[in-house]
């Protein structure tokens, strides 16, 4: 089956392994006439919102990560996208329907219906399928509840607190009755954390030269840490580790400070595992994919909060397919708040 | 009540905080006439075996550890001891009875009966109350079963494998059906691990200049690590961390490579927490005291193995009360196997 659509199909091809920051130089833009052939139960999609996420840089590491092999060169950059059906050869999806799929950095995709999740635009803006109601939301929810296990009255410290996952963790932890300190870069993000997201305290790590002074500031505000939800690693972790309390839970969700080179050739930092012994604490690494089959559990709780307008799920939207590599780069350097997405 | 005993009471007094290795220079020997006064339900003890353990050096750290305050200066060094009752003012204990108590580095002690555990010499040599049937055994058993959770067929790596705790972990892990690699210092310890304790493999870390080559050797033998029971930290951990498999469990029981200074001013090492993320692994610190109330559970299982002669619980015995500080020092420098104890 073929559809009479005369459209340009644009793809960002991952061409070169970055050794430091990832950026436009590691990609090449490829254009061709869109192939509109569809097999049975396939649909043709036009991407409307495409995701850039820190995990993409992990997949570009030279060494094995959570995937045995790095992202293959000379293929479309893997990514989640929110798309609309523009041609359908299946009963389940009609032209105009919204779906989420791992269709990558391309304007269009031909996909089997089994690889797609239908989005109900009545619940929330469709772009939330890339954020609060998608992978970052799932990561924040299950990382906090399954590994962090916060209790009312406890102290939760979140690094990368203004990011896609961190900004949700701050709010989820507050809903658990915890007192929450967010670590972020810059005064503007910190003001947003306390004034908009409801964090009890926020600390701008850029105002500190060394982990010791950062540590003293956190100690001063919190008196000690029960749960550390870590998106960043490096100096933030060096500062928090000596402050953990008895049976603290440390959740390793990301190590974004290390993604630009440090993963392949580890950066040096202070050895701090003796604190685990002192406090009989736990460090647990978590990954969104492990909770994919439990998405319904999370949506059952979080979607009503979104629908009722009780959660802040800020999106930083960059316009234009051409901006994707720069948008990915800006995850590691930029000033965005919440979920960074590219609108096509 | 007073007893007519004209005996010298000797005590090792902890006098000075070590900044590096601990040794005789940090102690002073004090002698006095033994006070034989006993209140109701007190006994007078003569120590027969006194313990030296790595945790003593942790308690001498300048910074807070698992105790909020370091070991107080100018007091008797805290330690476990196996002792005999030489005078009794309680119905429950008679002269000649064997007990375990935290009576410290002294030849005699006056103790309330509630602070003592009676030892049955019919079960095993009484000195095992300082080893396999005491704190080290409890640490090995609960650290492995509650935090390590080995399964049949899994790979368990033990650092400090020839030590008091490690040598038991090797055997307990084998009994769980795991394949076990022990890391120890020197060819003699390694031969003991495989030939006597039943480890599948042993590696002499002293034969390696760098964590990378040690890591390659471990990888070569095991193919990857499910449980890492760590008594040592430092280079051993650097070598194992990149080899952990999906959902690996890392048990931090000790960090003996760091005790001589590194705890106060942390040594630098490679940042490796991203491996936790990749493998969704867990690091858990464990401490013997947390399982004290569950001693019966452990004895119920392990004591029959000891009685039946099915477990190797080697003791390195140093003779003479005067040797205690040197014995402690040799924990960090010496060639002992199994549990190091001082016979009085």
Domain ranges of chain B: 8-130+313-343, 135-289
Average pLDDT over residues A58-81: 93
Task: Give the mutation candidate from A55, A234, A243, A252 for the B interface (greatest B CB count, under 10 A).
Answer: A252
Chain A residue with the nearest C-alpha to that of B283:
A283
- Going by the DSSP 8-state scheme, the letter that residue A293 receives in this structure is G
ipTM: 0.94
Please tell me whether residue A56 adopts helix, strand or coil conformation.
Answer: helix
* Surface of A (144-183) touching B: CB under 8 A: none
Chain A residue with the nearest C-alpha to that of B270:
A268
Of B58, B273, B284, nearest to A282 by CB-CB distance is B284
B258 interfacial to chain A (CB closer than 8 Å) = yes
User: pLDDT tens for residues A104-120?
Assistant: 999 999 999 999 999 99
pLDDT at A3 over 80: no
User: pLDDT tens for residues A26-44?
Assistant: 999 999 999 999 999 999 9
Nearest CA among A134, A137, A139, A149 for reference residue A253:
A139
For residue A174 the two structure tokens come to: 């507050």
Chain A residue with the nearest C-alpha to that of B286:
A280
pLDDT at A260 over 90: no
Query: What CATH number belongs to A135-289?
Result: 3.40.50.720
Do A74 and A13 form a contact (C-beta atoms < 8 A)?
Answer: yes
Query: Chain B: nearest CA to A322, how far in angstroms?
Result: 31
Which ranges in B143-272 belong to alpha helices (H)?
166-175, 187-195, 211-222, 235-240
A289 interfacial to chain B (CB closer than 8 Å) = no
Task: Give the mutation candidate from A271, A272, A291 for the B interface (greatest B CB count, under 10 A).
Answer: A271
CA B205 to chain centre: 20
The residues facing A194 across adjacent strands are none
User: pLDDT tens for residues A298-325?
Assistant: 999 999 999 999 999 999 999 999 999 9
Query: Chain B: nearest CA to A251, how far in angstroms?
Result: 9
Residue B68 confidence class, pLDDT cut points 50, 70, 90: confident
Architecture of domain A8-131+314-343: Alpha-Beta Complex (3.90)
For residue A74 the two structure tokens come to: 């000379």
Query: Chain B: nearest CA to A280, how far in angstroms?
Result: 4
Which ranges in B271-323 belong to alpha helices (H)?
274-279, 295-307
B245 interfacial to chain A (CB closer than 8 Å) = no
pLDDT at A333: 85
pLDDT at A110: 97
* Surface of B (48-67) touching A: CB under 8 A: 58, 64-66
Q: Which residues of B touch A268 (CB under 8 A)?
A: 268-271
Do B252 and B229 form a contact (C-beta atoms < 8 A)?
Answer: no
pLDDT at A135 over 80: yes
Average pLDDT over residues B95-105: 98
pLDDT at A181 over 80: yes
Rounded to 10°, the helix B295-307/B135-142 angle is 100
User: pLDDT tens for residues B246-269?
Assistant: 999 999 999 999 988 788 889 999
Average pLDDT over residues A182-200: 97
**Fold for the domain defined by B8-130+313-343:** Quinone Oxidoreductase; Chain A, domain 1 (3.90.180)
Average pLDDT over residues A230-243: 97
Query: Chain A: nearest CA to B237, how far in angstroms?
Result: 10
pLDDT at B6: 77
Average pLDDT over residues B160-180: 98
User: B179 to each of A212, B34, B157, B166, B168, how far by Cα in Å?
Assistant: 42, 52, 9, 15, 14
pLDDT at B33 over 90: yes
Q: Which residues of B touch A254 (CB under 8 A)?
A: 277
Query: Chain A: nearest CA to B99, how far in angstroms?
Result: 28
Contact at CB, B274 and A267, closer than 8 angstroms: no
Residue B62 confidence class, pLDDT cut points 50, 70, 90: confident
Q: Which residues of B touch A281 (CB under 8 A)?
A: 284-285
pTM: 0.95
Phi, psi of A268 (to 5 degrees): -90, 145
């Amino acid at each position: 089956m073929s559809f009479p659509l005369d459209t340009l199909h644009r793809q960002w091809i991952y061409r070169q392994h970055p050794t430091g920051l990832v950026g436009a130089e590691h990609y090449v833009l490829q254009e061709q006439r869109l192939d509109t052939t569809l097999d049975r139960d396939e649909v043709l999609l036009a991407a409307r919102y495409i995701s850039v996420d820190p995990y993409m840089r992990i997949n570009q590491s030279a060494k094995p990560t959570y995937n045995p092999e790095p992202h293959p060169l000379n293929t479309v950059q893997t990514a989640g996208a929110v798309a609309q059906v523009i041609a359908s050869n299946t009963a389940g999806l009609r032209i105009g329907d919204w779906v989420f799929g791992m269709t990558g950095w391309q304007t269009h995709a031909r996909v089997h219906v089994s690889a797609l999740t239908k989005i109900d635009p009545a619940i929330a803006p469709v772009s939330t399928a890339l954020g609060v109601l998608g992978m970052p939301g799932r990561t924040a929810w299950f990382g906090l509840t399954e590994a962090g296990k916060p209790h009312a009255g406890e102290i939760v410290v979140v690094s990368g607190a203004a990011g896609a996952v961190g900004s949700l963790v701050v709010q989820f932890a507050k809903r658990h009755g915890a007192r929450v300190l967010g670590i972020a870069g810059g005064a503007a993000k910190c003001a947003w954390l306390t004034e908009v997201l409801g964090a009890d305290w926020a600390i701008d790590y850029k105002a500190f030269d060394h982990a010791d002074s950062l540590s003293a500031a956190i100690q001063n505000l919190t008196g000690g840490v029960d749960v550390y939800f870590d998106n960043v690693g490096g100096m933030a972790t060096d500062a928090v580790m000596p402050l953990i309390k008895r049976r603290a839970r440390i959740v390793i969700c990301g190590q974004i400070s290390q993604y630009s080179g440090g993963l392949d050739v580890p950066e040096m930092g202070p050895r701090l595992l003796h604190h685990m012994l002192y406090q009989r604490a736990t460090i647990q690494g978590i990954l969104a994919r492990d909770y994919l089959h439990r998405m319904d559990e999370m949506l059952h709780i979080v979607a009503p909060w979104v629908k009722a307008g009780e959660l802040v799920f800020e999106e930083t939207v960059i316009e234009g397919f051409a901006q994707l590599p720069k948008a990915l780069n800006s995850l590691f350097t930029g000033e965005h708040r919440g979920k960074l997405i590219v609108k096509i």
